[in-house]
Amino acid sequence: MRLSIIIPVYNEVNTIREIINRVDAVELDKEIIIVDDCSTDGTRELIKDIRDNGKFNSDLRVVYHSKNQGKGAAIRAGINYTTGDIVIIQDADLEYDPEDYRILIKPIIEGKADVVYGSRFLGIHRCFMFWHYMGNKLLTGIANILFNTILSDMETCYKAFRTEVIKDIKIKSNRFNFEPEITAKVLKRKLRIYEVPISYTGREYSEGKKINWKDGLRAIYALIKYRLMD
């Protein structure tokens, strides 16, 4: 079972080398697809250096955007290059641990799931920002009401898909509203979705966290929009 790990990147010069090393070190058959979303802090140049001078256990591909478009656009671009059986989304910060890949893909390998969400609230996690936590719970609660489900963490980065499933879904969102859009479309299609516990080391805004309350409003709009239309 081959994995395709998509890493959308924007201005993560302090963490990109470490996350590439951590993903590469996981002893699973995989390819790594990095999509740099027009970083301006030196990330882009560092990725080129890592690609040109590094030695990897995994196949490594790098895609460069000529202008900043957002996380959703970066994921959409990365999907076009996937060749594995399972696609996993991996943020470029160090909040999520690639050692959780085995937990994440197990329900798919066992034939139980089409999609698996890694829930930060079911596993070991750093006690992080209260209002961020409440915003996440609000968005997840709205999704549960709209789609009659019991997710605990819609906004998690760690989502794994059978490749044919994610390639069959047309993603329109360019920014962080990728999360509610993909959730809505997975649930509307009655795909088998599981949650598993993952570890989580959340970071503060002072440490580089980018999502904010405006993205929360966009997420609510996206949930309602994609409940009513595809």
The pLDDT assigned to 68 comes to 96
The pLDDT assigned to 134 comes to 79
- Distance separating alpha carbons of residues 158 and 151, to the nearest angstrom: 14
| Among the listed residues 176, 162, 182, the one whose alpha carbon sits nearest the alpha carbon of residue 210 | 176
Q: Which of 14-28, 117-131, 198-212 has the highest mean pLDDT?
A: 14-28
Asked: is 3-228 a CATH 3.40.50.300 domain? The reply is no
pTM of the model: 0.88
The pLDDT assigned to 230 comes to 72
User: What sections of 64-100 are H helices per DSSP?
Assistant: 71-79
Question: Is pLDDT above 90 for 133?
Answer: no
| Among the listed residues 102, 95, 106, the one whose alpha carbon sits nearest the alpha carbon of residue 153 | 95
DSSP assignment letter at 67: S
| Other CB atoms within 10 Å distance of the CB of residue 30 | 22
